[in-house]
Amino acid sequence: MPIKEFKPLPAQPAPVSTTGPIAWLKNNLFSSPFNIVATLLILSGLFLILPGLIDWLFISANWTGTTQDACVDDGACWVFIRAWSQQIFYGSYPSGELWRVNLCLFLLAVVIYLSFILPINLRNKVAIPAFLALPFVCLLFLDGRYLGLEYVNTDYWGGFSLNILLAAASIIIAFPFGFLWALGRRSNLPFAQSVSVICIEFFRGTPVLALFFMGSVMLPLFFPEGVTVDKLLRVWIILILFMSAYMAEVFRSGFQAIPNGQYEAADSIGLGYWQKTFFIIFPQVIKVSMPNILATFIMVFKNTVFLLVIAVPEILQVILGALTNSKWLGGHATEGFLFVALVFWACCYSMSMLSTSIEKKLDTSHKH
Amino acid sequence: MNTDHQASIHNMNEDIIVIKNLNKWYGNFHVLRDINLTVKKGERIVICGPSGSGKSTTIRCINRLEEFQRGSLTVNGVEMIDDVKNIEAIRKEVGMVFQHFNLFPHLTILENLTLGPIWVQKKPKEEAKAIAMKYLERVKIPDQANKFPGQLSGGQQQRVAIARSLCMSPEIMLFDEPTSALDPEMIKEVLDVMVELADEGMTMLCVTHEMGFAKTVADRVIFMDGGEIVEQNTPDTFFDHPETDRLQLFLSQILQH
């Protein structure tokens, strides 16, 4: 008997009832009596709230003008935000020197963009040094003294740009620190291990508000007479230490996700401890930790508003100041706080999107 | 140095691995009990036994993936002691292939292969690449050089893992169940590479249950159970005239199918 030839069956499209918009509605919104009730309740709730909200936000809102008197309609007084926009974004930084702040933000964007578009063999060599240099380049520009520019005291730095730059500068420096602490925590050397554990547990177990107070009020008491350390610098160091502790814990969970076989394979080809750490373990730890790293960054970014308690003029402090300004006593708190919330939400949401795309980029499809 | 290497390959009488009274404990659990084993240069040894018998642990002691508490182990004249220099010297001589391949997933195949030559042996990049391509051709997958491990089949990944070890020009190759995680259709392509390697005179220690491989390739087959070497013999005697009832039972279990 001749042997039969095996012909694979061709693939067929999925039945229409499981795809398409109708199926989606049925599966996601109206799949059970409970879901039908929930969907209807939510829809009617939206129907009650949305028209009034849209009217207040957009239709009856006051968009043009420069003073409080321009706010004649019932809606939101966006004139308030407009009039204070420079303060909100740049603090009291001199108007003629704003390009320096813009340059720093631009450099930050460039470095982030670079780390995406560079080919893989250049990425580590260029992007990592660029990231590490960035905070110091920004310091030089914002301060200006050493570049022959007009000196701007840190008291004048502020606004939302300060929130962004301070958070970014903190996470960049906290990255290597956190990694070293995480390595230390896993180390067999008792000294390295105990130092790391103490640092991590202290900064992770202390509320960031308490740390800010300590930094601004307590720390100067320990300095020798005549020595002053800039308040913003102290805040920066505290943020770095606070963030390093969180990053160390993020990296620790990343380390635990690396299979033992990776260490064994690296050992078996004779790589030393640091070679193994940097070529084999570090890249994989970064990859699995990416969502948590971004989450930690978002947390610290939002925590920068706490700086208002020690009178650093970040965005919320500027708004509070504007609300008590004698020319704007018309009660614009809702607009002000809504605006701050919206700005933070927009930034954090785009960072989440960024994190998703980084995860996709790093995924070389080898899930076991 | 090269002539030395050539000469030593032909000297089959030289003991390359000497294990004496090796004992190992996990906590209070005595996993390896008085292991004595001498391997000559160019010898091919297959180790088999039930799971938990200590066969993997034994070969993992040879490149210090496992520590041991008592006894001595010498590889190519270097004694395995708790000294980084000795461990490094031994690891340079010993290549290892794992059950789950353990390729580095974030590096391309070529980078997986060149990492050791570049950073451990300090070879120039171009030379390391040439070596890597040579071994990729030997395991018959030079066209996959720029892919990532996740894009390859299990059999291909295991062949890459073999090539990665060979790139370090080891004197000894350890195989820890290299085909146990593979689909049946891929086992042959890996075994073919291993047979080829054996034909070239590589000193090999294989933990495997591929009895066909043991019969055709091994100079000596070792049976372990309960952390000790129960029996060792040439393949013919091992399979046809087992000396102990334990090995007889084991063989009857695995050869029934």
Whether residue A339 contacts residue A80, with contact meaning beta carbons closer than 8 Å, is answered with no
Mutate to test the interface with A, among B80, B106, B146, B173 (most CBs of A within 10 A): B106
Distance CA A153, CA A141 (A): 12
Q: What is the pTM of this model?
A: 0.82
Residue A116 structure tokens: 């995406």
Beta bridge partners of residue B17, listed in sequence order: B39, B75
Chain A's closest residue to B116, CA to CA, is A269
Residue B249 structure tokens: 């039972």
Chain B's closest residue to A120, CA to CA, is B107
φ and ψ at residue B66, rounded to 5 degrees: -125, 140
CA A42 to chain centre: 31
3-state secondary structure B106-161: CCCHHHHHHHHHHHCCCCCHHHHHHHHHHHHHHCCCHHHCCCCHHHCCHHHHHHHH
Give Cβ neighbours of residue B102 (< 8 Å, ≥ 6 apart): A259, A261, A262, A264, A265, B161
Residue A165's nearest CA partner among A219, A100, A97 is A100
Partners of residue A359 in chain B, C-beta under 8 Å? none
pLDDT tens per residue across span A175-233? 999 999 999 999 889 999 999 999 999 999 999 889 988 888 887 777 777 777 888 88
Whether residue B221 contacts residue B205, with contact meaning beta carbons closer than 8 Å, is answered with no
- Alpha carbon of A58 to those of A61, A64, A75, A337, A346: distances in Å? 5, 12, 8, 17, 18
Whether residue A284 contacts residue A262, with contact meaning beta carbons closer than 8 Å, is answered with yes
Whether residue A217 contacts residue A147, with contact meaning beta carbons closer than 8 Å, is answered with no
Mutate to test the interface with B, among A264, A268, A271 (most CBs of B within 10 A): A268
Interchain contact, B115 vs A364, CB within 8 Å: no
Placement of tokens 């496992």 in the chain: B66
Interchain contact, B88 vs A270, CB within 8 Å: yes
Interchain contact, B150 vs A284, CB within 8 Å: no
Whether residue A364 contacts residue B150, with contact meaning beta carbons closer than 8 Å, is answered with yes
Distance CA B52, CA A65 (A): 82
The CA distance from B223 to the nearest CA of chain A, in Å, is: 25
Give the up-direction half-sphere exposure of residue A205: CA atoms within 13 A in the CB hemisphere: 6
Partners of residue B103 in chain A, C-beta under 8 Å? 265
Residue B228's nearest CA partner among B37, B64, B69, B45 is B37
Query: For each successive 10 residues of chain A (368 residues), what is the average pLDDT?
Result: 84 76 82 90 93 88 82 84 90 90 94 84 83 93 88 89 94 93 92 94 91 84 78 90 94 93 93 91 88 88 89 89 84 88 93 83 58
Placement of tokens 């750490």 in the chain: A277
- pLDDT, position A364: 59
The CA distance from A23 to the nearest CA of chain B, in Å, is: 34
Tallying the residues shown for chain A, one arrives at 368
Partners of residue A262 in chain B, C-beta under 8 Å? 102, 104
Strand B29-40: give its sheet, edge to edge.
B29-40, B15-26, B70-75, B78-79
Interface predicted TM-score (ipTM) of this complex, two decimals: 0.88
Q: Is B210 helix (H, G, I), strand (E, B) or coil?
A: coil
- pLDDT, position A13: 83
Amino acid at A46: L
Partners of residue A261 in chain B, C-beta under 8 Å? 98, 100, 102
Residue B255 structure tokens: 């050869």
Partners of residue A366 in chain B, C-beta under 8 Å? 105, 148-151
Distance CA B76, CA A59 (A): 85
Partners of residue A275 in chain B, C-beta under 8 Å? 119-120
Beta bridge partners of residue B26, listed in sequence order: B29
Placement of tokens 């010898």 in the chain: B43
The CA distance from B144 to the nearest CA of chain A, in Å, is: 15
Beta bridge partners of residue B73, listed in sequence order: B19
pLDDT tens per residue across span B57-66? 999 999 999 9
Is residue B71 within a helix (H) or strand (E), and if so which, with residue range? strand B70-75
DSSP at A91? B
DSSP-based helix, strand, coil % in chain A, nearest 5:
75, 0, 25
Longest CA–CA span in chain A (Å) reads 103
Partners of residue A264 in chain B, C-beta under 8 Å? 65, 96, 98, 102
Is residue B96 within a helix (H) or strand (E), and if so which, with residue range? strand B94-97
Query: For each successive 10 residues of chain B (257 residues), what is the average pLDDT?
Result: 44 82 93 93 93 92 92 90 87 93 92 94 94 93 91 93 94 93 90 92 92 91 93 92 92 78
Partners of residue B168 in chain A, C-beta under 8 Å? 269-270
Residue B78's nearest CA partner among B66, B63, B68, B95 is B63
The answer to whether domain A82-93+152-362 has CATH 1.10.3720.10 is: yes
Extents of the domains making up chain A: 82-93+152-362
Interchain contact, B88 vs A283, CB within 8 Å: no
Interchain contact, B104 vs A280, CB within 8 Å: yes
Interchain contact, A265 vs B168, CB within 8 Å: no
Distance CA B171, CA B15 (A): 12
Question: Which of B91, B100, B148 is nearest residue A268 as measured by Cβ atoms?
Answer: B91
DSSP at A30? S
Give the up-direction half-sphere exposure of residue B142: CA atoms within 13 A in the CB hemisphere: 9
The CA distance from B214 to the nearest CA of chain A, in Å, is: 24
Interchain contact, B105 vs A267, CB within 8 Å: no
Angle between helices A98-117 and A128-143 (to 10 degrees): 180
- pLDDT, position B122: 93
Chain B's closest residue to A288, CA to CA, is B106
Whether residue A286 contacts residue A123, with contact meaning beta carbons closer than 8 Å, is answered with no
Residue A6 structure tokens: 């095996």
Strand B15-26 and strand B29-40: the pairing is antiparallel
DSSP-based helix, strand, coil % in chain B, nearest 5:
45, 25, 30
Distance CA A122, CA A125 (A): 5
Query: Could you say which residues from 50 to 109 on chain B have a Cβ atom under 8 Å away from some Cβ of chain A?
Result: 63-65, 88, 91-92, 94-96, 98, 100, 102-106
Interchain contact, B105 vs A364, CB within 8 Å: yes
Mutate to test the interface with B, among A189, A262, A267, A269 (most CBs of B within 10 A): A269
φ and ψ at residue A31, rounded to 5 degrees: -80, -25
Interchain contact, A262 vs B102, CB within 8 Å: yes
Q: Is A143 helix (H, G, I), strand (E, B) or coil?
A: helix
